[in-house]
C-alpha cells in the first residue's frame, strides 16, 4: 500500500463490492460469494477473501469452469483445484486530469464487436475476458480498416472506484502508443464523472506497470491472484 495514503476498504475487496453492489445485475451467487454470470469475465468475489465461501458458489458453477480470485491464499477447498498462482499489483490513479483526449479516432465497442474483442484478448492475454465483458462499462477500440488492433475498457465498479481493464494491442500495431492513448481516454472520462481509476497488472508485466506509473498510477497493494477450477 502507498505510504501515508488512507485505506479504501472497498478497493481492497473490489470484486465483492462490485458483484454484490452496483454490478449485482451481472452476478450470480448467494451468501458471501458471487461470480460474474456466464459470458462475462470469469472472476469470483467473496465477502471474506481470507475465508472464501466456495460452498455457496457450488450451484452457480459448472464442472470444469475456471475462475480468477484475488487475495485468497489458503488451501483449495473440496471440489476445487488451483490451476495457477501468482501475484498482481492493484494500482490507483494519483495523477492529474489528462488535458485532452489523445484517442479521438477510437470507436465505442458494442456487442457486435465481441468476437473481434475475444480474438484480440485471446492473442494478447490482458486478463480474464468473456464475450459479454464489453457490457460491463465503456470499451473503446482502434481499428485498422475492419480489424480491431487495440482496445481498453472498464470492468469492476463500486464506491466511486472504476477499473480500467482489457488493455491490449495487436502485436502488429505495437509501438504506436495505442494502449496509452486508450487508457488516458478512459481515465479522463472517469475523472470527469467524479470516479477514481484503478487497474490490475501482473507482477511479471513490468513493462506495463512502468507505463502506468509514468501515466500517473501508483502501486496500492500486491496480492495473490489464482485461477481455480471447479472439479
Which CATH number is 164's domain given?
Answer: 3.40.630.30
pLDDT in tens, the chain (231 residues): 443 444 468 999 999 999 999 999 999 999 999 999 999 999 999 999 999 999 999 999 999 999 999 999 989 999 999 999 999 999 999 999 999 998 899 999 999 999 999 999 999 999 999 999 999 999 999 999 999 999 999 999 999 999 999 999 999 999 999 999 999 999 999 999 999 999 999 999 999 999 999 999 999 999 999 999 998
- For residue 7, the 8-state DSSP code is -
Block residue for cell numbers 465477502: 47
Q: What is the DSSP string of 164-192?
A: EEEEEE-GGGTTSSHHHHHHHHHHHHHHH
Whether residues 195 and 121 fall in one domain: yes
Model pLDDT, residue 29:
98
Q: Report CA torsion sign: 197, 203, 208, 213.
A: positive
Whether residues 14 and 126 fall in one domain: no
165 phi and psi, to 5 degrees? Answer: -150, 170
Cβ-count burial 1-34 (b if 16+ within 10 Å, e if not): beeeeeebeebbbbbbbbbbeebeebbbbeebbb
User: 78 lies in a domain?
Assistant: yes
DSSP reduced 3-state for 227: strand
Whether residues 134 and 165 fall in one domain: yes
User: 228 lies in a domain?
Assistant: no
Please say which residue of 88, 122, 156 terminates a domain.
88
Percent helix, percent strand, percent coil in the chain, to nearest 5: 30, 35, 35
- For residue 43, the 8-state DSSP code is B
Block residue for cell numbers 465481441: 114
Model pLDDT, residue 4:
40
Which of 226, 154, 225, 168 lies closest to 196, judged by CA?
A: 154
Whether residues 106 and 55 fall in one domain: no
Most distant pair of Cα atoms in the chain: their distance? 52
Model pLDDT, residue 13:
96
Model pLDDT, residue 102:
87
Contact 149, 156 (CB under 8 A): no
Contact 187, 197 (CB under 8 A): yes
Model pLDDT, residue 147:
97
Strand partners, 107: 141
Model pLDDT, residue 131:
96
Q: How many domains does the chain have?
A: 2
- For residue 22, the 8-state DSSP code is T
Whether residues 37 and 112 fall in one domain: no
Residue range of the domain that includes 185: 90-223
Amino acid at each position: 500500500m502507498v505510504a501515508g495514503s488512507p485505506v479504501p476498504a472497498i478497493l481492497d475487496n473490489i470484486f465483492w463490492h462490485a458483484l454484490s453492489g452496483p454490478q449485482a445485475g451481472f452476478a450470480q451467487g448467494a451468501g458471501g460469494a458471487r461470480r460474474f454470470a456466464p459470458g462475462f469475465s470469469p472472476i469470483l468475489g467473496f465477502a471474506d477473501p481470507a475465508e472464501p465461501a466456495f460452498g455457496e458458489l457450488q450451484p452457480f458453477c459448472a464442472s470444469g469452469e475456471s475462475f480468477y480470485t484475488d487475495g485468497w491464499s489458503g488451501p483449495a477447498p473440496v471440489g476445487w483445484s488451483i490451476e495457477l498462482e501468482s501475484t498482481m499489483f492493484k494500482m490507483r490513479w494519483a495523477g492529474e486530469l489528462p488535458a485532452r483526449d489523445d484517442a479521438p479516432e477510437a470507436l465505442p465497442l458494442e456487442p457486435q464487436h465481441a468476437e473481434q474483442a475475444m480474438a484480440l484478448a485471446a492473442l494478447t492475454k490482458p486478463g480474464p475476458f468473456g464475450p459479454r465483458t464489453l457490457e460491463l462499462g465503456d470499451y473503446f477500440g482502434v481499428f485498422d480498416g475492419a480489424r480491431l488492433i487495440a482496445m481498453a475498457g472498464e470492468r469492476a465498479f463500486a464506491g466511486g472506484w472504476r477499473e480500467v481493464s482489457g488493455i491490449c494491442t495487436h502485436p502488429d500495431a505495437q509501438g504506436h502508443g495505442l494502449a496509452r492513448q486508450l487508457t488516458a481516454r478512459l481515465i479522463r472520462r472517469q475523472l470527469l464523472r467524479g470516479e477514481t481509476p484503478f487497474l490490475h497488472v501482473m507482477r511479471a508485466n513490468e513493462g506495463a506497470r512502468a507505463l502506468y506509473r509514468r501515466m500517473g498510477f501508483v502501486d496500492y497493494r500486491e496480492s495473490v491472484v489464482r485461477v481455480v477450477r471447479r472439479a
